[in-house]
Structure formats: C-alpha cells, structure tokens
Amino acid sequence: MNKHPSPLWTHLTSENRMTGTWRSALPNYQNQPSPCLGACPVHGHIAEWIKQVKDGDVYGAWVTLTENNPFPAIAGRICHHPCESACNRQHMDETVGICSLERFVGDTALAEGWQFSAPPTQETSVAVIGGGPAGLSAAYQLRRRGFRVALYETKDELGGLMRFGIPAYRLARSVLDGEINRITAMGVDLHLGVPAVDGAALETLQNSHDAVFLATGASLPKRLPALDYANPWVVDSADFLAAPVSEQTDRTGARVIVIGGGSAAMDVARSARRLGRSVTVLALEPEGRLPAQRIEVEEAVEEGVNFVHGAMMKSAEALGSGVVLNCVRVDFEPGDAPGAFSVEPLDGSDFELMADTIIPAIGQDADLARWSGVLDAKGPVVATGRDWQTSKPGLYAGGDVASMNRFVTQAVGMGKEAATAIAAALTPGDARPPANGAAQVAYDRINIAYHDTHGRNRQRNTEIEARLATFDEVQQPLGPNEARSEAARCFSCGTCIYCDNCYFYCPDMAITKLENGYVVNSDYCKGCGLCVAECPTGSIHMREDTSS
Amino acid sequence: MNAPLFTEDLKLLNGNHAVAWGVCLAEPDVAPVYPITPQTPILEKLIDFESRGACQIELLTPESEHSAMAAAIAASATGARVFTATSSQGLLLMHELLHYASGARTPIVLFNVNRTPAAPWGFWPDQIDSLSQRDTGWVQLYSESPQESLDSVIQAFRIAEAVNLPVMVNHDAFYVSHSVEPVSIPDAGMVRDFLPRIPREIQLGDGTGRSLGAPIDQAAWNLTRREMDAAMKRVENVSEQAGSEWERLTGRPSAPLEFYRCEDAEIVYVTMGSMSGTVREVVDLLRESGVPAGLLKVRLFRPLPVQALRHALAGTSCAIVLDRNYSPGTGGVLHQELKAGLFGMENPPRVHGMLAGVGGVNVPVGSIAKLAADCRNAEQTAEPVWVE
Amino acid sequence: MEMTKYRDNGQFCSGHVACAGCAEALSMRVILNAVGEDTVGVVAPSCTAVILGGHPMSSAKIPVLHGTLESAAASASGVKRALKAQGRDDTTVLCLAGDGGTYDIGLQALSSAAERNEDILYVCFDNEGYMNTGGQKSSSTPHMATTGSTPLGKATHKKNLIEILAAHRIPYIATASPSHLSDLAAKVEKAKSIRGTKVIIVLIPCLPGWGVADNAAVKTARLAVEAGAFPLLEIEDGVHYSLTVAEKTRPIDAYLAEQKRYRRLSDEDRAALQSEVDDAWSRLLARAGKDLNA
Ligand SMILES: Cc1cc2nc3c(=O)[nH]c(=O)nc-3n(C[C@H](O)[C@H](O)[C@H](O)COP(=O)(O)OP(=O)(O)OC[C@H]3O[C@@H](n4cnc5c(N)ncnc54)[C@H](O)[C@@H]3O)c2cc1C
Ligand SMILES: Cc1ncc(C[n+]2csc(CCOP(=O)(O)OP(=O)(O)O)c2C)c(N)n1
Ligand code: SF4
Ligand code: SF4
Ligand code: SF4
Ligand SMILES: [Mg+2]
C-alpha cells in the first residue's frame, strides 16, 4: 500500500498511530473467585465444573469437583449449600442449583463407576482417627498425594454421622457406600471396630506415624437436666438415628415427642413418621426461627409432623401407659454466638403434652474428657491453630471435634485443609501456596445481558404417601437435560468462558486471541473499558496504567 | 486550413446536438445529467443515443445537478471517463463540487450552456454563470459554433486526462445551443485514437486500498494547490498540442487563441463565444473601410494563455474587450483578466472594457464597429462601458 | 441472549482516532469486515470520516472516497456506475454517513438514489445529532434531547426516516445496534447479497454528544433496543416488516438515565416519552402484523 506519498491519496494504515498513549487504564485478565467458591466450605471450583457440565463434559466436571471434595453425590444431597446463598444469580432471578448439579455429577460418576487414581504409596505415613467426613476427606487428600494412610474407627463401618445420623431417605446408603468405597479403593489401611482411641493411644499413634489427624466428631449427646434418661420412654436421638429400623420401631410408642428444633430433630421426627408414629416437635424457637433448614421443616410439615413452637418442657412423668410433659411457653432471645440463646418462661402459660416416647435432639458435644491432659481445648472443642494443628505438634484435628461449624462439607473442608498442611509439613521444601487474595466477583461485574432470565430447574420430591411408606430418598435428581439447562444458568463468575466478547467488543482491535486466552495490545488500547463492561463473567477488570 | 486526413459526415445539427455527437464519440463511461433549459437537448440526445445503442454510457439521472456532479466526481475517481452537462442555475448549484472535482483531480468534462442566472429569471445567453466559477480550478473553454462545440468537447477529454483537471466547455444559450448549421462528424476510430485510454496512476478500487480526500493538515492541503498550479501551467501547452493534432486530423484549427486578421492590426477586438461571429463581420467591414482591425477569440479562458496574449497584442495599440457578462462591482470578467494578463508588459495596448450583450441582448454590428472609432484614439478607462 | 460472533479479517485497523469506547468505530469494525475486501467506500463528512481518515493514514483496508456532506448516496452511485462500466458489477459500494448527512442535508440525494434503486449499501451511523461539529441537533435528534442547538431539549420529534425509506420501496431497510453485533454483521451480509438500494441505520450512542460513560455505549444501545426506543427491524421491498427483537422488555427509564442529554427531564417528561415509545411500538407491531396476515 505504500507507493509514493500524495496529499490526496492515503498510503498508510492507521496502525502507524499508537493510540495506546491516550490510555490511563488497561484491562487485565484475571480469573477471580466467585462468591459461591468463597462461601463453599471446600472452596470448590464451582464455576469451572459447572461450565464443564454445561459443555457436556461430566467426567471433567467430576475431576474438577473431586479435587476438593470426594463426596459430590453425598454433598449434592445433604450439603447445607452456603454457596447457593452467596450465588450472584439470585440478584437476577434465582440462585443456581449448585447442589443439584453436584448431585448430578456425583450420581453420574457412581453410575459410570469412575474411580480415583492414587499414586503409589510412599513410606511417609499418617494416622487418621475417625472415619466420618473429616477423616475420610483427609485420608483421600493424603492418598492423592501418595502418603500412606492408616484409618482408625471404632465402628465397623465408615461414614460417621453420614451413616449413623443422616437418615437414608435423605442420603441413600448405596450412595454413601459408593463414595466411601472409592476412597478406600485408593489404598487405605483400615482399622475398623478398634477400641476408642484415647490419650495414651494417641501418643502411640504419633510415635508410629509421621503425623496424626484427629476427626472423632462430637458424639456426646447434650442432656436435658429435667429429663431422666434412664426411663424406658426416653430415647436419645443419636441412638435412635443410629439404630436400624427394626430397633427404632421397638423403641418408640405411638406418640412421639421430639425435643429440639435443629436438623437432627427433624431427622428424628421424620424417621418416626416413617415408622407410623404420630410426632410432635417441641421447640424453644418461635415459628419460622428454627435452626433447622427451612426446607427440612417444610418437608416435616408435609409429612404430618406437628410443631409446638416457643415452648419448653419443665418435667415429664409417666402417667398410665404414657407420659405427660409439663410445658411452658417461653420468650426466646437468640444470643450473639451461633447457637447461643436465652429463654424466659412466660408466667401462667403452662400446658401439658401427652406422649409415649420422648426423643431429645438438642445437640452433641465433643468428648473432650478423653483428651484431657493431652490436648488443649478451646471452649467445647479441641483447640487448633493455623492449619488445624493442635497443641501437640504433628497432631492435627478437624471436623466436629475441632469446630462448631457442624456440617458435612465443613468437615470435608477441614479434612482437606489439614491434609494439605500435613502434606506440606511432611514434604521438604513444599511451601503452601499463598492464599489467593483476589476479591470475589460481585454481581455488578456480571453483564447480565448475556444471561437470559430462566427460573431454576428444580428437583422434585416423591409423593408424600410414598415417602412415609419407606426410607427411600425423597429428593429426585435432575435429568441430564435439566442439568445442562441448570448449568447454563451459571454466570461463571470470574472464570473466563472464552466467549470472545472482549475480543469482539473492542472498538480498537486491541485484543488478540491466543490459543488459550487473550492478550491486550497496549500500543492501541485506549482504556475505554468496553471489553470489561461486556464480559459476561467478570473475568477482566481495568487496572490503572500510567506507563504511557 | 489544411485538408482533413479523414473524410467526415456532414450533418445539420444545432449546437447542443453537436455536443451530444462529440460526447458520443468520446465514449465516456458514465454520464450523470440533470435537465435545464437550454442544456436539455444535450441530455435528451445522449439518452436517445444510448437507448438506441449508439453508445454505451452509464447514464444517471439524479435529482439535482449537485448529485450529478457528485456522481461524476466519484465515477471519475473510480477511473471512469465522465461527462456531464448543465447550465446557469445548475452550474451554480454545483459550485461546492466544482472545487471538489478539481481538488480531487478528476478529469471530468462538463458542458455548460451559458445562461443568465436568476434573479430575475431569464434564459438568455450570458457567460457570468461559468465565469463566476473561474476560481474553482476548472479549465474553461468557450465555443462559438456547433462545430467548434463538437470539436472542443472531444479535445476537452484529451486535455482533462492529460493534466487530471476537470474541463468545462461553454457555449452561449440559443445563439449556439439552438442554432443549426452543417456540422462535420469526425470518424469514430479517429476520435478513439485521439483519446487514448490513459491508465490512472491511482484510482478508487485499484487494489491498493488507497483512499481519496481524507482530512489533511495545512501543509499537505497547500501542497495540493501547488500541484494543481503545476497542472494548470501545463494546460496551455497540452491544449495547444491537442488543437494542432485536431487540426492535422480534421483540418479545423483549434488553438487556445484564435486570431482573425490580426496581422498588423492596430485595433484588436477580444471576445469569447458567439460574439466572435458578429465581430468577424465587423472586422471585415472595418478592413474594407481601411481600419486595421482584427479579432482575438479566446477559446481557452482558464488558464488564460497570458504569454500568447501578450505576444499577440504586442504592437497593437488598442484592445477592445467585449464581455457578454457582468461581474457587479468590477465589470466584464474578460476585461479584468486581460488587464491583469498584460500587467507589466512593455508598450501594452490600451484596453477598453465593453459590456456588450449582458443578459443576451442583441449587439448590432454597427454598435461594435462604432467602438473602433470611439476607442482608436481614446484613453482607456478603468470603468467598463455599457454598450447600447 | 446469544453470544457475539462475527468475522474479523482485519478490514478495520487499530490506531484510528475515534473516542475511546466509540460504538461507531465498533460498528465500523463489524461492517467493514462483513462487507469484505471487494468493496469501495464513500464517506460523508462526519465522525465516520474522521475515524476512517487522517491523511496519510486510513483505518479502512478498503478504498474510501471522502465525499461531501450532502451527496453520499450520489457519490456512491457514481462509484457503482464506474465499476459497472468497468465490468466490476460485483464489487460492493458501501456508503457511510451520519444522521445529519442522511436525514437532513443528504436526504435528497439518498431519496434519489433509492428511487433509482442504485445498487449501493448505505449505512447511516445515527448518533442523533451533528457530532462532528460539536453536537447540534439534526432531524434525527429525538424529542426532548438537549443538544448544542436545543439547549432546552428538542421540541419536535425524530424524523421517521425508516418510513420515508420504506415509501421508496427499496429492497432492504434494516436497523441495527452495536449491542447486537452478530445481528449487525448478518444484516450487512444479507444486504450485500441483494441488488439495489439497501439502507442500514445503526444507532450510535455518542459518548460526548449524549453524555454517556466511556464504557457504556454498548449498554446504552442495548437499553434503547430493549426499551423499544430503537427497534431492531428489517423491511423488505418497503412493505414486509419484521422485528429482529420482537419484544419490548423494559421501560425507557434506564435508557434515559444512562444519558446526560436527558438529564433535565421531569417525571412527566419521562412519562410522555414512554407513551411516545409505546405508540410508535404499537404502530410498528401493526405494520409487522399486517405483513403476517398478508
Ligand atoms: C442427625 C444429624 C443430621 C445431620 N444432617 C446434616 C446434614 O444434613 N448436612 C450436613 O452438612 N451436616 C449434617 N449433620 C452434621 C454432620 O453430620 C457432622 O457435622 C459431620 O458428620 C461431622 O463430621 P466428622 O467427621 O467431624 O464427625 P463424625 O461424622 O461424627 O465422624 C466421627 C467418626 O469418628 C468415629 N470416632 C469417634 N470417636 C472415636 C475414637 N475415639 N476413636 C476412633 N474413632 C472414633 C466415629 O465413630 C465416627 O465414625 C447432621 C448431624 C446429625 C447429628
Ligand atoms: C455542505 C456542508 N455543510 C456543513 C458541513 C459541516 N459539517 C461537517 S460534518 C457535519 C455534521 C454531520 O453530522 P452527521 O452527519 O450526523 O455526522 P456526525 O458528525 O454526527 O458523525 C457538518 C454539519 C459540511 N461539511 N458540508
Ligand atoms: S452464578 Fe455460578 S459462579 Fe456465580 S456465584 Fe452462582 S454458581 Fe457461582
Ligand atoms: S475495549 Fe479495547 S480499547 Fe477498550 S479497554 Fe478493552 S482492549 Fe482497551
Ligand atoms: S469476555 Fe468472555 S472471553 Fe473475555 S474475559 Fe470475559 S468470559 Fe473471557
Ligand atoms: Mg450524527
């Protein structure tokens, strides 16, 4: 194009003009954590694996998911899903059904028989005490890194409260077994049915292993002082839930009163309904304020559980073939700490309830006495510092024994974090990756023009009658099309989806597509920010740039 | 007059039809045209030719002369040979684009039929429409007769394409446009050879991707005018050559300046267009009565062949300029141009400016002849004189 | 909404002098690439001309004639005829002009070219004012918008050029928006494949002229489309109307709020503009509907 200059005819292209000098800010590509990731107790790469589901790569999604959580099918059923509460999509229509997608991925993996591959076992060995979600998560993470793992569990079966607490109608045992077996298949030295590990045994284990992870949960039921647990009509909730159905049937009369308003209380109440019992829940909290999740309460109501809110039992005594509960209405005041509260009985509001069986379900404590003198405690739990290390070097603790965040995925997350710390401590020169300090992607960074309004694809529950007849799972999974459609609702906050919008919207052709990403040409970028504004995922932001 | 190299058809044609014949022979690619009295017969004849397959021209009939000229420029910039025709109001409407055409160095040929501009409305021969465009960068030729119009329009393409400047050929309304005379139609092959297709150095769409007329800085704009100046300076020479070749081919002289009985003339009438015919009669009469008079007909008005004029008028004592136009506040445009052209000449003739025939009024032979006596020994005046 | 996709073969070059974030430059990128190499352009004085030019450089790979303000369509006709005479009838002639050069001073030439059904593709970058001269009103400036020559807000309505063009019965008329780039590319490609006069009017929220943030031109255009203030449509042969975006999905408020030129509107003013949009929309629906029944 460059012949001889003429004042009339152009002979150069504008590429000779460096408009980059106009700029005061330059776009910067940076994948940033999504709010769901921030809220997720295992910090799963949610945006990433959901995109894989959307793209039809369920195996890839499972691989991504199980980097942080070996229990997608379990978590997909019973996780309290704080990720969904944080999801950006709620500001547009409804949160993404992350949990239902997780279940879809987990179920697919079980159906397909996908297995974890583990590197050959090294000599370095770690003892894990407790086969609940915390212990299994740690065992899994350690095996992935090649460590030898010895797992000590008093029960004959693994799973902890996932097996002996959460009822089968919420978590099918085949699912539980499938996901646990996949971990043990990685090569874990299992010691089942061992005597409860105590302070002395701990020291022994510490001597025979390079590190120890303590994950014994919280197995001591809290007790109501007003109730004599020796009575045959008092059944502890933990025992009740841990028992097989036949035993549950034997131990309950026709009228069951469950004391407590949390998840365990709901599980007891709903299990008892499945035994054909008439069930009343007596809770301190007023209606709508129960600590159990709203959906659990709703489903309990659907299943015919009666609720007596804002009241407490003062005493109980046998009367004829049954029991009479002397109750009083209370003024309930929540405290500052999670779970803390105070109650004030209301004068003259006494009333009575009749029952055949009382099942108190008011929580469980960690058995700290077992470690007294060996481990420091912090309040109701074992004290831990950074990386979940206890007061004994080389001894780590996580899950319900070390935290009041009492959820399965919290336990999984703690197991993962402790395992990562143990691995780092046992691998010379392996510094822990620095914490990713990048800010989470806020809703206003998402250009919602590229996301169509579309309500959530909901999982359905089985009919109520059918539910009450068995302990089969209530919640039905999303089908593959629904799952794809649900995955497509995800904004992919902070995770580039290579949609090319930034490339296409630059008026200055200052973005070049690379094989796997994009680069901004600072010779021409004028710093307008259009690329950022039109990004549907919030994966680019403007950064001040005064270089030119 | 030399014997023609080619035998030509003789047809009875009016001036406008003669132009259409000439255009047809020049084979332009594109012709956007818009009707206006008294130009319309050119347009109609061209369309007639084209519709009968006598020539192949992309004829465009837009909504205005402005658009006609815009299309002409664009077509020319794209490498087409382009013709258009207009008159008076139409030419004036084109004004903006006349500058554009020359600035863009598009070798368009425009035929203008000189007509009075409104107000008030009139349709009469007067050259102020084209003369008031003298600063637009167009080469201007003036023709006296249908034959000359035909010859000039063909030569105009040759000149335009040699220097990449647009050329406007003019003839007077009715006196030339509608007067009928036998016109020799040149041989088509001969015209084709006379007007070879010269490939443009640059044109739109030539594959180089170069753009025309983009916004520019002062120095570069200035340079465009210097380049135009250089091109304008070549015009006299180019039209001289074109004229003499034409004369060789057809036997009809077609020089930038035409002299009639100017040898040893003491009094020389200087004029353009149809007035020349009347003046020729006057010169013959005066010569018969022993007055040494002559006629200098200016064919090439822009650029004015100044050196040739000075040369021709050396030894003449009295130049009488007959202007069929009036530039308010100064007078006759040719008068002004001639005075400026003779500026600084040694022993220049006295130059008498006569406003003769403004608005198309008839100027009788007697009135013109009388001017010789009036001016022969009179001092020149700066003011023009309105001829009765 | 579908993701953006269009071809970019480098027909529009970096280094042009459009404002940072200019939606006109963005649209130009799409158009020049969609129309392809075998094209000759004509541009009328406007921001477009400035963006394309700056001697001795050009930001377009295609050759462009920088013509005069009132004659874009005539110039394009001239180019087309010259190409035709040279046997290059397949070369596309692309005419680019602003709204001033289209709705106002160039309407006469455009109307004539349309009447002759000249084989040209005419793109009007409608930034609703004379922006190159510093932001005065044009006949495309909408009701109540302030400009340098309507400091109190324009008292009259935006000229309905689409209807005027439809009355010419040209084969193709479309509107497009920089918020819908794939659609813009598709419309250009479609227009290119049709012989005769094609006109595409692209809404260009002018950053300084409308008082829009540097990164918000696309957003503003999108709001205009969603509010039905600038409907995306196609009209074939002047009679077959079809709406590209068939629904009006939001009130006009967010669109107005994005722009400083509407800053002085009262609530009543906004309501009045809303009902104008509603009326225009139902008229448009009627046209599109009529076509369906035909
Ligand atoms: C009824 C009920 C329902 C629940 N529902 C949900 C729910 O829906 N969603 C949710 O997220 N969370 C739920 N939770 C909470 C959740 O189950 C626990 O927070 C989680 O299981 C804690 O995991 P963990 O591994 O720390 O302890 P556990 O699951 O309690 O596992 C501890 C394991 O250690 C073993 N063990 C204990 N002491 C010793 C010892 N000294 N030596 C060797 N082994 C020992 C135990 O046998 C057990 O297998 C529920 C809890 C209950 C009680
Ligand atoms: C005959 C004529 N009058 C006035 C101008 C000055 N002028 C140049 S660009 C322009 C504004 C054109 O507005 P528009 O077509 O809307 O294009 P924009 O600048 O908004 O891109 C004007 C009035 C001109 N170039 N030519
Ligand atoms: S939209 Fe997707 S990535 Fe964003 S918070 Fe929700 S689930 Fe996470
Ligand atoms: S759109 Fe282009 S010019 Fe604007 S900030 Fe992004 S890269 Fe730079
Ligand atoms: S616009 Fe698309 S390709 Fe660009 S950073 Fe955002 S998600 Fe990635
Ligand atoms: Mg404009």
- Read off the pLDDT of residues B207-234 as tens digits, 9 standing for 90 and up: 999 999 999 999 999 999 999 999 999 9
How many Å apart are CA A107 and CA A478, to the nearest integer?
A: 10
Confidence label for A434 from pLDDT (cuts 50, 70 and 90): low
Report CB contact under 8 Å: A7, B212.
no
CB atoms within 10 A of CB B288: 8
Measured in degrees and rounded to the nearest 5, phi and psi for residue C52 equal -75, -25
In a domain, residue C293? The reply is no
pLDDT at C227: 98
pLDDT at B9: 86
Q: Which of C65, C68, C81 sits opposite B204 (nearest CB)?
A: C65
Q: Tell me if A510 CB under 6 Å of ligand 4.
A: yes
Average pLDDT estimate for A430-449: 79
How many Å apart are CA B295 and CA B324, to the nearest integer?
A: 16
The angle at the Cα of C91, spanning C87 to C96, to the nearest 5 degrees, equals 135
pLDDT surpassing 90 at residue A438: no
**Residue whose C-alpha is closest to residue A541's, from A503, A502, A507, A500:** A502
In a domain, residue C12? The reply is no
Residue range(s) defining the domain that contains residue C277: 23-287
In a domain, residue C4? The reply is no
pLDDT surpassing 60 at residue B1: no
In a domain, residue C30? The reply is yes
Report CB contact under 8 Å: A7, B220.
yes
Report CB contact under 8 Å: B79, C68.
no
- Tell me the DSSP string of B218-283: HHHHHHHHHHHHHHHHHHHHHHHHHHHHHHHHHS----SEEEES-TT-SEEEEE-TTHHHHHHHHH
Confidence label for B301 from pLDDT (cuts 50, 70 and 90): very high
How many Å apart are CA B331 and CA A143, to the nearest integer?
A: 108
In a domain, residue C292? The reply is no
Question: Which chain C residues are closer than 8 Å to B78 by Cβ?
Answer: 40, 78-79, 82-83, 86
Secondary structure letter of residue C104 according to DSSP = I
pLDDT at B5: 62
Of A1 and A433, more confident? A433
pLDDT 10s digits, A126-180: 999 999 999 999 999 999 999 999 999 999 999 999 999 999 999 999 999 999 9
The total domain count for chain C is: 1
Secondary structure letter of residue B117 according to DSSP = P
Average pLDDT estimate for B19-24: 98
Q: B212: which residues sit within 8 A by CB, 6+ positions away?
A: A8, A9, B77, B104, B204, C63, C64, C65, C66
CA distances from A288 to A170, A285, A291, A310 (A): 22, 8, 9, 10
Q: Does the domain spanning B257-386 belong to CATH 1.10.3720.10?
A: no
Average pLDDT estimate for A252-265: 96
Chain A from 11 to 40: CB within 8 A of any B CB: 11
| Average pLDDT per block of 10 residues along chain C, 294 residues long | 88 98 98 97 98 95 98 98 97 98 98 98 98 97 97 97 98 98 98 98 98 98 98 97 95 98 97 98 89 47
Buried b / exposed e across A464-486, counting CB within 10 Å, b at 16+?
eeebbeebebbbebbeeebbbeb
Burial class of A379 by CB neighbour count within 10 A (0 to 12, 13 to 18, 19+)? exposed
Measured in degrees and rounded to the nearest 5, phi and psi for residue A251 equal -90, 0
Is there a contact between B209 and C58 (Cβ–Cβ < 8 Å)? Answer: yes
Average pLDDT estimate for B100-112: 98
How many Å apart are CA A74 and CA A452, to the nearest integer?
A: 30
Query: Coil, strand, or helix at residue B355?
Result: strand
**Residue indicated by tokens 């309505």:** C157
Strands A311-319 and A306-308: unpaired
Which residues have CB under 6 Å of ligand 3? A 34-36, 46-47, 50, 87-89, 96, 98, 490-493
How many Å apart are CA A95 and CA A111, to the nearest integer?
A: 27
pLDDT 10s digits, A505-523: 999 999 999 998 999 999 9
pLDDT over 90, % of chain A:
90
Which ligand ends up closest to the CA of B99? Answer: 2
**Residue whose C-alpha is closest to residue B127's, from B357, B364, B302:** B357
- Interface check for A453 against chain B (CB to CB < 8 A): the answer is no
Minimal CA separation from A18 to chain B, in Å: 18
- Interface check for C62 against chain B (CB to CB < 8 A): the answer is yes
Secondary structure letter of residue A339 according to DSSP = T
- Segments in B251-387 forming alpha helices (H): 275-288, 306-313, 333-342, 365-376
In a domain, residue C18? The reply is no
Bridge partners, residue B190, by sequence:
none
pLDDT at C230: 98
Q: C123: which residues sit within 8 A by CB, 6+ positions away?
A: C31, C94, C95, C96, C97, C188, C199, C200, C201, C202
pLDDT surpassing 60 at residue A432: no
Interface test with A, best of C1, C11, C14, C27 (most A CBs within 10 A): C14
CATH for C270: 3.40.50.970
pLDDT over 90, % of chain B:
96
Could you tell which of C47, C69, C128, C141 is best to mutate to test the pocket of ligand 2, judged by most ligand atoms within 8 Å of the CB?
C69
Burial class of C280 by CB neighbour count within 10 A (0 to 12, 13 to 18, 19+)? middle
Minimal CA separation from B206 to chain A, in Å: 11
Q: Determine the length of chain B.
A: 388
Confidence label for B4 from pLDDT (cuts 50, 70 and 90): low
Is there a contact between B178 and B14 (Cβ–Cβ < 8 Å)? Answer: yes
Confidence label for A187 from pLDDT (cuts 50, 70 and 90): very high
Q: A270: which residues sit within 8 A by CB, 6+ positions away?
A: A167, A169, A279, A299, A300, A303, A305
Confidence label for B101 from pLDDT (cuts 50, 70 and 90): very high
Q: Tell me if A197 CB under 6 Å of ligand 1.
A: yes
How many Å apart are CA A161 and CA A172, to the nearest integer?
A: 13
pLDDT surpassing 90 at residue A2: no
Q: Chains touching chain B at 3 or more Cβ pairs under 8 angstroms?
A: A, C
Which residues have CB under 6 Å of ligand 5? A 29, 496-502, 535-537, 539-540
Nearest CA to ligand 4 atom 4: A528
pLDDT surpassing 60 at residue A433: no
Report how many Cβ contacts below 8 Å link chain A to chain B.
Answer: 26
Is there a contact between C102 and C137 (Cβ–Cβ < 8 Å)? Answer: no
pLDDT at C1: 65
In a domain, residue C45? The reply is yes
Confidence label for A5 from pLDDT (cuts 50, 70 and 90): confident
Is there a contact between C70 and C95 (Cβ–Cβ < 8 Å)? Answer: no
pLDDT 10s digits, B248-297: 999 999 999 999 999 999 999 999 999 999 999 999 999 999 999 999 99
Q: Tell me if A529 CB under 6 Å of ligand 4.
A: yes
Mean per-residue pLDDT over chain B, rounded: 96
pLDDT at A372: 87
**Residue whose C-alpha is closest to residue A150's, from A124, A113, A117, A174:** A124
Q: Tell me if A532 CB under 6 Å of ligand 1.
A: no
How many Å apart are CA A382 and CA A397, to the nearest integer?
A: 7
Q: Which helix (H) or strand (E) holds A242?
A: helix A237-242
Q: Name the architecture of domain B9-250.
A: 3-Layer(aba) Sandwich (3.40)
Q: Which of B103, B212, B223 sits opposite A9 (nearest CB)?
A: B212
Peptide bond into B38 cis (omega under 30): yes
- Interface check for B193 against chain A (CB to CB < 8 A): the answer is no
pLDDT at A338: 72
Residues of C with CB under 8 A from a CB of A: 1, 3-6, 8, 10, 12-18, 20-23, 25-26, 29, 53-59, 61, 179, 181, 214-219, 222
**Residue whose C-alpha is closest to residue B157's, from B97, B116, B198:** B198
pLDDT at A336: 85
Measured in degrees and rounded to the nearest 5, phi and psi for residue C157 equal -90, 165
Q: Start-end ranges of CATH 3.40.50.920 in chain B? A: 257-386
Question: Which chain B residues are closer than 8 Å to C86 by Cβ?
Answer: 29, 78-80
Measured in degrees and rounded to the nearest 5, phi and psi for residue B184 equal -75, 125
CA distances from A362 to A111, A326, A366 (A): 37, 18, 14
Confidence label for A437 from pLDDT (cuts 50, 70 and 90): low
In a domain, residue C16? The reply is no
Strands A220-221 and A364-365: antiparallel
pLDDT at A51: 96
Question: For chain A, which domains are there?
Answer: 14-31+496-544 (3.30.70.20), 35-114+446-487 (1.10.1060.10), 125-219+366-426 (3.50.50.60), 222-363 (3.50.50.60)
CA distances from A117 to A120, A145, A182, A190 (A): 10, 11, 10, 18
pLDDT surpassing 50 at residue A3: no
pLDDT surpassing 90 at residue A330: yes
How many Å apart are CA A393 and CA A323, to the nearest integer?
A: 51
pLDDT at C294: 45
pLDDT surpassing 50 at residue B155: yes
Q: Which of C26, C57, C216 sits opposite A12 (nearest CB)?
A: C57
